[in-house]
Structure formats: structure tokens, C-alpha cells
Structure 1
Amino acid sequence: MSDVPIIRTERFKLRPLIYTDTKALYPTFADDVQCRYLSRPAFESEDALWEWLAEPGWNGRTWIAEDEQGEVAGRFVAVPGHEEGIEEIGYVTCADRQGEGVARECTAALVSHLVQTEGKRKVIAEVDLENVPSIRLLTGLGFTREALFREHETTHKGLCDLAVYGLLASDPLP
């Protein structure tokens, strides 16, 4: 796994994943409703979640959003894209923290870090077309829908339409 630098926002510290984060993330990742837009179903155990989070062969990076009290508020990821200079992001806000602006604040900070600090030329996100809150988040941060793939991916909920959103380094950053 690549180096995961600490990124600070007004309310959160985005830091590397550690084993004990599994306990805080599990209630969200074990909930069928919360996992409806993941490519896999909800997790059956904390051990299974940890194996997935810490998969040694995965080429992405994970940041955990931790508030000032040390509470875990979400998971944010960046994965190298199909060519140099492109990074794909993903995010999950813990169910008990949804509606607090965690995803917006932390995703904006991650995107800014990827572009301004790491020099990425483009950041993308793939989103299930039914995931309206995620689409609202991305468009609110200045992302543009670049592609729509109909009946593109089969997940635990069936065949899904997938949209790709992108933000160029030359676009206004969040």
C-alpha cells in the first residue's frame, strides 16, 4: 500500500487506516441499506471487513476521517486510474454521521490534496446512477458527468447503470 499522508480539514484529520477502525466502520458496512451502492453485499463479520479493508493486493490508499474527539466518521480512498496523473476516489460516511457534511468536507480536502500536493491532473469517481446523494456531492464539488454506462456492472443488487464523474486540475477546486 502506498504512503497515506495526513490531511487536515476544519473538523477532521484524514489519517491512515488502522485495525481498530474496523469496529467503528463495521455497523455501516454490515448494513444492507448502507451497502446498497457497494459492488459487494454487506459484511458478515468484523474480520471479513478487515480482510477487505486491508487487502494486501489492493493498489489504493485509505484515509479514515477522525473528528477532534478521535471518533471515526468515514472512509475515503484514492486508487490510481487507467493512466498516470489520474486518480479515482471513493467515500463512505459512517451511518451515524451522515447529514453532517463529513463527505463533502473530507472529499474536498482529498481532491485538493491529490491535485495540489500530488500533482494529479484529473480525479474521477464511478457512481451507481441511483446513488443520488453521491451524485449531488460530486456535482456540488465541481465534478462533471463524463460518461454513462448503461447496465454496466452486476453487483449484489443486480445490473447497475454507472456514471463516471471527473474533475480536471484546471477546473476550480472545491
Structure 2
Amino acid sequence: MIQHAASTSHIAIPTLTTPRFVMRPLRRTDAAALLPTLGEEAQCRYLSRPAFASQEELWNWLADPDWNGRTWIAEDADGTVVGRFVAVPDEPEGVEEIGYITCAEWQGSGVARECSAALIAYLFDTEGARRLVAEVDIENLPSVRLLERLGFARTALHPAHEETHKGVCDIAFYALDRDRYRAERELDTHD
């Protein structure tokens, strides 16, 4: 689980596009758009921290200057914020951890799958990442299903691995290697 949520790394954050969304760098006004989701305990159940109490608190988390990840904010054609997607450099070099959250009113509409697929393609095809990883609370079944639909495979299960605001959590680790991603994509184009 990604611990911080900023977009302040020194690496440029390009705009990515999908059929329905534009994924752009974080702006201060995004705190107001994300607060209705990240301000609700039920929506933050699988986050590493409890819900946010204010836009200022959320902005301070989103813009934490000590965090080395990058944030993309997805918005629809009307400019409505629909979700947040992140990539965080991991060890060893060439490995990135991804994360995502869909705004409550957009959950179940394919936002996470569409935007995560665009981020995965960008990280592999443009940046040359060799492996992507993700950590997920095993109780977060929608996230587990999403990772598996995106081609990630579970690499480890760590019982009682992390303590969060909801208690001790069992965490599953998932990974997707560039070669496997490209091979599966090649198969999809020949079907």
C-alpha cells in the first residue's frame, strides 16, 4: 500500500489519454474534488490512513515534498475529476509501484481499469520500466480483481503485514513484468 500520495517528484508528469479520460498532473484544486471520496471513512478503509478532515489536510498529503512518487489525476471530457493514479519508484531500478483510487460516484464504471491500463502502457512502453508492482489489502476484492484483470500475478501473501487505522492487515503483493505484459498484448492483437 502506498503510504504517501504526492506528485512532487522531479520527473516530468506527461498528460496521458484514454478513450474516455485525460490523465494530467496534480493541481491544488484537486483536493476539493477528491475530498468527498477521501473524506469518507468507508472509502478510506483500505488506505494506509483514516479519512481526511479538510481540503488543507488532504492537499498537504497529496503535495508532500518528501514523497518521491508521481500523481496523475483522471478527468472526464467535462473536466470532472474521476480518480487518482500514482507511480512510485521501487527497488531495484526499473521497478515502479502503482496505485489508484476512483472517486466514489465513478466506482464500478471502469475508470480504474481504463486509466491503470494507460499508466501501465506508459510506464512500460515509454519509460522502459521492467516490472510493476502493487500491494493490496486482501479484503479489498475489487482491487484484487482489477490487478488480476490487468495481468498482474500474486507473488506473495503476507499475513498480519501492515497495521493501519483499521487494524492489522494481510497484504498481497502483485507484479507484472514487461515481457509478460508485451507477450499478452501480442496475443490480444492476434485474437
For the superposition of Structure 1 and Structure 2, which TM-score range results when normalised by the shorter chain?
over 0.9
How far, CA to CA, are the matches of 2:118 and 2:32 in structure 1? 25
Q: Distance in 2 between matches of 1:58 and 1:129?
A: 25
Q: How does 1:66-145 map to 2 (within 5 A)?
A: 66-145=75-154
Normalised TM-score (structure 1) = 0.98
Offset at residue 172 of structure 1 (A): 2.9
After superposition, the C-alpha distances for 1:40-78 in whole angstroms (9 at most, x for unaligned) are: 000011100000000011000000001111110000000
Where structure 2 has 5 or more consecutive residues not aligned to the other structure, the ranges are 1-8, 186-191
Residue matched to 1:12? 21
Supply the AA of the counterpart residue of 2:55: E
Question: Larger % of helix: which?
Answer: 2
Deviation digits for residues 123-165 of structure 1, max 9, x if unmatched? 0000001000000000001100001111000000000000010
| Identity between Structure 1 and Structure 2 (%) | 59
Pair 1:3 & 2:37 matched? no
Q: Does 1:148 align with 2:184?
A: no
TM-score by length of 2: 0.90
1:161 paired with 2:139, answer: no
Task: List structure 1 runs of 4+ shifted beyond 3 angstroms.
Answer: none
Q: Unaligned 5+ residue runs, structure 1? A: none
Decide which of 33, 50, 67 is 1:41's aligned counterpart: 50
Q: What is the SS of the residue equivalent to 2:71?
A: strand
**CA separation in 1, counterparts of 2:160 and 2:55?**
31
Aligned pair 1:22/2:35, yes or no? Answer: no
SS at match of 2:180: coil
Report deviation, 1:83: 1.2
Distance 1:11 1:108 in 2: 13
C-alpha distance in 2 between matches for 1:73 and 1:40: 21
Aligned residue for 2:51, secondary structure, equals coil
The CA deviation at 1:82 is: 1.5
How many residues in Structure 1 have an aligned counterpart in Structure 2?
174
Q: 2:189 maps to which residue?
A: none
Q: In structure 1, what is the equivalent of residue 179 of structure 2?
A: 170
